[in-house]
Amino acid sequence: MASTDAALKDIMNSIDGTIGVALVDYNSGMALGTIGGSPDLDLNVAAAGNTDVVRAKVRAIEMLNLKEAIEDILISLSSQYHLIRPLTSRSGKGLFLYLALDKGRANLAMARHQLKRIEADLEV
């Protein structure tokens, strides 16, 4: 099992095109850990803003009475991909990983695969 810091470093170093990554509590909108970012991407602001995205999707699933869990949420911008992956472990309930990728350098399929692998090993 990997600690939060180790998992975030693993994501930053193993996923090509990573701009930044955060572990976020979607009840409070607070980033519990961040690494990376840029002058144009404040990960704490992104964490808070994307909390609303997760909450909205959870509400929509409940209103539709779907018996499904969110695997990940993809937001595709003109130059970036933003991936949101809710944690599935009991200790990770209410948390999600937020990953920002450079669209020109990232392989989206591989990024999703790596994020899933790292999330499975994360101990919160």
CATH code of the region 4-121: 3.30.450.30
Please write the tens of the pLDDT for every residue from 101-124: 999 999 999 999 999 988 888 877
Mean pLDDT across 50-70: 93
Of 28, 31, 3, 13, which Cα lies nearest the Cα of 98? 31
Domain ranges of the chain: 4-121
pLDDT band at 90 (very low <50, low <70, confident <90, very high): low
CB 36 within 8 A of CB 18: yes
Quote the pLDDT of residue 92: 61
